[in-house]
Amino acid sequence: MDNENSGAAELAADSRTVAPLLLTEPFPCPHCGQMLAPSCRSCVACHQPIDITQIRRPEPGASALPQPGATVPTTQTRHFSWPIFFVVFAAAFAIISIGVRFVGVETSQLMFIGITFACAGWVFMDAHAKGLPRPWRWSIMTLFFWIIFFPWYLGRRRKPRDPCLVIESPHSILFRVLFWFVLVSLFFLFLSFITAMVKIPPH
């Protein structure tokens, strides 16, 4: 009898070990809690590889589908950080004021353009190193809308597992609008430059 009980316990332990390998229902990511399809082996939110040995079958009687009115846990999204924005704005204002006083307006403008390019390059490399989705989007937005997206990224990078769907989602309306705004602005700027060059009388 003892041998039979021992064998049954071992069989139950083996079934608990094998159970996570047979995924037929959506399951939460062990890292961030995002619900994933049974075939997923990399989280679509935090991009961490899925260790199927960490996934456990729900308790007997628990339904895999949320009950009506129940709150479904989701990953957080990094919203715009106003404290970081005001700190960056104050620092930029101080740098520009000092530059205008000591080196002049034109040199200050060139200096600020250089800072903007440097920040955009750093954002791309830092986002790529941290494994954040779409680092080139953060870099482009930082380059053309520095005062908004550079503080936004500084808040985003503090928690790499919290996605920012406004920028990183493949269907982000905000990014598309701003991206086309930049393209149209560059096009008209190019036309203005060509028109000005044509109107310059030859020497």
pLDDT at 7: 52
132 and 87: one domain?
yes
- Beta carbons within 8 Å of 75's beta carbon, 6+ residues apart: 32, 33, 34, 45, 46, 161, 162, 163
Instruction: Please tell me the predicted confidence (pLDDT) of residue 14.
Output: 46
Stretches in the chain below the pLDDT threshold 70 = 1-24, 56-79, 199-203
- Identify the pLDDT of residue 158: 85
Q: Has residue 90 been placed in a domain?
A: yes
**Is 11 within the bounds of a domain?**
yes
**Which residue segment(s) compose the domain that 24 sits in?**
2-54
Q: Are residues 107 and 37 in the same domain?
A: no
- In this prediction, residue 131 carries a pLDDT of 87
For residue 140, being part of any structural domain is answered with: yes
| pLDDT score of 172 | 78
pLDDT digits (tens, 9 = 90+) for 82-133: 899 999 999 999 998 998 999 998 998 899 999 999 999 999 999 999 888 8
Whether 96 is covered by a domain: the verdict is yes
198, part of any domain: no
* pTM for the whole structure: 0.56
Token pair of 121, please? 């390059």
Q: Same domain, yes or no, for 86 and 31? A: no
Residues 44 and 115 in one domain: no
Give me the number of domains the chain comprises.
2
Residue 50 lies in a domain: yes
Alpha-carbon gap, residue 3 to 9, rounded angstroms: 10
Distance CA 32, CA 161 (A): 7
Please give the pLDDT value at position 114. Answer: 94
Q: Residue-wise over 128-147: b if at least 16 C-beta within 10 A, else e?
A: eeeebbbbebbbbbbbbebe
Q: Based on the domain organization, do 154 and 111 belong to the same domain?
A: yes
Residue 139 domain flag: yes
Q: Report pLDDT for 75.
A: 43
Let me know if residue 65 belongs to a domain.
no
Evaluated on CA atoms 141, 144, 150, 152, the torsion sign reads: negative
